[in-house]
Chains A and B, each alone.
Chain A
Amino acid sequence: QKEVEQNSGPLSVPEGAIASLNCTYSDRVSQSFFWYRQYSGKSPELIMSIYSNGDKEDGRFTAQLNKASQYVSLLIRDSQPSDSATYLCAVRKEGSRLTFGEGTQLTVNP
């Protein structure tokens, strides 16, 4: 079982729609959760971090964490073509390395 699994892509949504990206993790003691955005040919860029159960909102982005279900998601409201990228979920245990999922490629169609 992979430590971090993301829903297989690619995911395609129309402009203005809500894009939903999902991630599950295997280690219950994981404490920190991150979403990175990676444009083609570029390096990852942190867009959201979440540490406790519930929702965290930042502009059009909402991260949701459910530790009991070992599940973290990212919602992008009012999706724009500029949101087209690969989204990487990353998880960290206390004092341990950041482990990334394989990413979900999102395309927002004008």
Chain B
Amino acid sequence: EAGVAQSPRYKIIEKRQSVAFWCNPISGHATLYWYQQILGQGPKLLIQFQNNGVVDDSQLPKDRFSAERLKGVDSTLKIQPAKLEDSAVYLCASSTRTATDTQYFGPGTRLTVL
């Protein structure tokens, strides 16, 4: 079974530029999560999708971050415009349901904002 796929793996941009990350969850997983992990910290949930509906986006900085999950499969996370403090690893995870199911993480995208 293929794992969670993410691209790109690394991205370097200058502040005020925009950037987009892509995630393809494990086949059949209804729930998809985007996390932000700043160096030295644990992952912080940005947004959670159940199929193509948003379950939790309370910690998403909506003035600059947006995310969508078309057709309940792939997802894209966008930052526009980026700030220096957005430098982090962006992790995508998926699970079959939300309740007690294991979340499987993708390899992440390391973003550096200069």
A32 touches B107 (CB 8 A): no
B107 touches A102 (CB 8 A): no
* A-B contacts at CB below 8 angstroms, number: 39
A103: chain B residues within 8 A (beta carbon): 40-42
Q: Which of A32, A44, A101 contacts B105 (CB 8 A)?
A: A44
A4→B42 CA distance, assembly (Å): 10
A45→B59 CA distance, assembly (Å): 23
B45 touches A98 (CB 8 A): yes
A3→B16 CA distance, assembly (Å): 32
Asked if A97 CB lies within 8 Å of chain B CBs, one says: yes
A88→B108 CA distance, assembly (Å): 16
B106: chain A residues within 8 A (beta carbon): 43
A34→B49 CA distance, assembly (Å): 21
Number of A interface residues in the complex (CB < 8 A):
20
A17: chain B residues within 8 A (beta carbon): none
B108: chain A residues within 8 A (beta carbon): 43
Q: Please give the distance in Å from A13's CB to the nearest CB on chain B.
A: 21
A49 touches B102 (CB 8 A): yes
Asked if B56 CB lies within 8 Å of chain A CBs, one says: yes
Query: Closest 4 interchain pairs by CB?
Result: A100-B42, A43-B105, A97-B45, A88-B42
Q: List 6 A-B contacts (CB under 8 A).
A: A46-B103, A49-B100, A90-B42, A102-B41, A102-B42, A103-B40
Binding site for B on A (CB under 8 A): 4, 32, 42-46, 49, 51, 88, 90, 95-103
Binding site for A on B (CB under 8 A): 40-45, 48, 56, 59, 91, 98, 100, 102-103, 105-108
